[in-house]
Structure 1
């Protein structure tokens, strides 16, 4: 059976042949190849490459509530948020080999998020390289430090720009403010901990830097429409990442 293929190149370059046309994808490129495409791939002459590849199919007999967001033809773009996208592909890779009882829900949610981000970047206007650079710097910092207490002033200093400009460019490229992004990273991790560990809600709250369990619970419910206790009981029945789309 033929599959749609979704790829993130994380190192080097790769040569693709799409209906005989030669196309080069390099580090940071997202590639979508729809099912039925006459295709081939090989290492670029510059050396070996590394990539994450997801193969998936759609059940054409199902009447989806939302149409597939990407036109079914070959697409290649340079993602504006490479570290976050890499982080989500890595999570998809790990969870695809996780507990069989839950992995179909979790993996479907991550893939839906990635395809939605890809579609949004396809439709959005060209963004200046400086905005991409600044957003990447902020994004990398947040991914590494989201459990810490972070102020907008700190992020503005990272790129030597004003606080208002920092918030503006991050929201333009990421679709949300830096503070909401921090909370989203924390709550996604909280979902994972609630489903896959024996940590208490209080311990998870403290681990993620909230320290006040009641505030953690309010923020969790704000982002997921469920309390941490409810999610611990019923979270395996939902697509976790779809909660944050």
Structure 2
């Protein structure tokens, strides 16, 4: 059983630091912007944007802002029941780990949701928050278990992802993405899928539908207007794609989406 002690968001805090001490809880971190300097059992570690960090209980840990300036990060402190069910053991080795997440936007969204829900209705808070944290830890463990990925693949994927994040509302062809990294279209699809778990085209649709969910819940835009804004232009095609990824129509989501866990949406 996991017990969440706290969920925190550090938002460019001047002179931020954490004095070196042996912690008796686990810490799970996503760095959103900037860099953080950690001391882990006497070793200096730098965590930067997109890094997921796991610091196990019993670690001598200290931390402070990097010399380059302040940072943004989400931090979850939690403990694990010693009487854990070993038929479903904790999936991460109890040692320090730091990796670059392969799906930063989704992971960031889940940390945001965890932060918000940790301050929500006490009646359901623990169940919802533990569920979100377990999902994040499971994704982290899966990435740790994956084969080593070369720095060049990480670089190529980062270039493509950043381009898609800035241009997902536009009509994008695979050939355009291939030119960004000077590789063939087939290689471009392959390397992106290896690191992100989906093709560039599916990632574009995912970004669009995530934004559509936001617009349906928080604006008065019509379904047709949202379709145009997101680059679909054909409202019926937009509705089919929306339902394919969320199992709901846009109209259904505008009515009931606030009741749905985001992790259950993108199927």
Unaligned regions of 5+ residues in structure 2, if any?
Answer: 6-23, 82-87
Quick one: structure 1 residues 30 and 91, their matched pair in 2 at CA, closer, same or farther if it must change by over 3 Å? closer
Which string of whole-angstrom CA distances, capped at 9 and with x for unpartnered residues, describes residues 26-64 of structure 1? 324320235x4444322278464524023255896xxxx
User: 1:137–1:159: 8 Å Cα contact kept in structure 2?
Assistant: yes
1:224 corresponds to 2:246: yes
Quick one: structure 1 residues 75 and 208, their matched pair in 2 at CA, closer, same or farther if it must change by over 3 Å? farther
Q: Counting strand residues as a fraction of each chain, which structure ranks higher?
A: 2
- For residues 71 and 172 of structure 1, the distance between their equivalents in structure 2, rounded to whole angstroms, comes to 21
Unaligned regions of 5+ residues in structure 1, if any?
Answer: 61-66
Partner of 2:48: 27
Which of 151, 158, 177 aligns to 2:173? It is: 151
1:198 corresponds to 2:220: yes
- For residues 147 and 169 of structure 2, the distance between their equivalents in structure 1, rounded to whole angstroms, comes to 33
Which of 162, 175, 184 aligns to 1:140? It is: 162
Aligned residues: 236
User: 1:80–1:132: 8 Å Cα contact kept in structure 2?
Assistant: no
TM-score, with structure 1 as normaliser: 0.78
User: 2:65–2:71: 8 Å Cα contact kept in structure 1?
Assistant: no
- For residues 121 and 57 of structure 1, the distance between their equivalents in structure 2, rounded to whole angstroms, comes to 21
Partner of 1:209: 231
**Structure of higher CA gyration radius:** 2
What's the offset of the Cα at 1:163? 0.5
TM-score, with structure 2 as normaliser: 0.72
User: 1:142–1:182: 8 Å Cα contact kept in structure 2?
Assistant: yes
What's the offset of the Cα at 1:89? 2.7
Quick one: structure 1 residues 141 and 78, their matched pair in 2 at CA, closer, same or farther if it must change by over 3 Å? same
What's the offset of the Cα at 1:116? 4.3
SS in 2 for 1:244: coil
> How do 1:81-120 and structure 2 match up within 5 A?
81=102, 85=104, 88-89=107-108, 92-93=111-112, 96=115, 114-120=136-142
1:55 corresponds to 2:76: yes
- For residues 161 and 69 of structure 1, the distance between their equivalents in structure 2, rounded to whole angstroms, comes to 40
Partner of 1:63: none
User: 1:195–1:235: 8 Å Cα contact kept in structure 2?
Assistant: yes
- For residues 76 and 222 of structure 1, the distance between their equivalents in structure 2, rounded to whole angstroms, comes to 36
